[in-house]
Structure 1
Amino acid sequence: MNDQRFIIEMGMGNDQYGQDYTKAAARAIEDAIRHSAIPMFEVTGLTHEQMRVQVTIGVQHPDRVDCAALAGKLPRGRAKVTAVFGGLDVINPDTGKTLVIASAAVEAFLPRQPG
């Protein structure tokens, strides 16, 4: 690929009660992109479809993350979500329930521009 990364945002999300790794991942992605704005599309003439978005989610059980569902919720670009081992599981000693904590790295790439 001949593209260049121009944004990387990090976020954290959790699911305190449902032990839902996809929900925690979705919240981590939202946290990462919540404060981002990309005004360059308006001034460069590039389209959002030219942007490739790579999301890496870290959780203790990557196989429990619905990566396709998360990719479908991203608002711009051609998205791919990958889950890897990371994040945290914290056990509540009183209930035995697991608090799921996910981390996210959201990267955006565009074709290299001349100059």
Structure 2
Amino acid sequence: MSLQRIILEMGTGNDLYGEDYTKAAVRAVQDALHHSSISLFRSTDLNRDDMQVEVTIGSQKPENLDADTIAKQIPFGTVKVNSVFGGLNVTDPEQDTVTVIATAAIAARIEIPEGKYRPA
């Protein structure tokens, strides 16, 4: 058996007024999840809880992210969260506010027995 990536999905989220990096990251993960549908599990006997899910969040302050809160957004599998520098902060000096924009990449992998499944 070999670990195969079955999905890579991206999303973007923001926090307009609170400068909350975790809130922006959660919204980015939710955005990515709303773009995906994995019908593989309905078509096979593979267990979705066997997935290894890697969530990478890009933000201007990766040290301000709560990885546990972000991981809880993923409904299945074993989740690992990586925080990296990225995203975007947009400042409004007139209002003295910062809009936080975070990006998310979600990769899901699962062991697929060799020779058991073939693309149609």
**Aligning the two structures, in what range does the TM-score lie when normalised by the shorter sequence?**
over 0.9
Aligned residue for 2:72, secondary structure, equals helix
Question: Structure 1 residue 24 and structure 2 residue 24: aligned?
Answer: yes
* TM-score normalised by length of structure 2: 0.90
Of residues 68-77 and 95-104 in structure 1, the stretch that sits farther from structure 2 once superposed is: 68-77
Displacement of 1:105: 0.2
Identical counterparts, % of pairs: 48
User: Which digits, 9 at most, give the CA deviation of each residue in 1:74-113, with x for residues without a partner?
Assistant: 1111111111000001101211211000000000000133
Cα distance in 2 for partners of 1:52, 1:11 equals: 19
* TM-score (ref. length: structure 1): 0.94
**How far apart in 2 are the matches of 1:30 and 1:113?**
30
* Deviating 4+ runs (over 4 angstroms): none
Q: Distance in 1 between matches of 2:27 and 2:8?
A: 17
The amino acid across from 2:25 in the alignment is A
Q: CA RMSD in A?
A: 1.0
Structure 1 residue runs without a partner (length 5+): none
Aligned residue pairs, count: 114
Answer with 1 or 2: which has the greater Rg.
2
Alignment-derived partner of residue 48 in structure 2: 48
- Name 1:77's counterpart in structure 2: 77
1:1-115 correspondence to structure 2 within 5 Å: 2-115=2-115
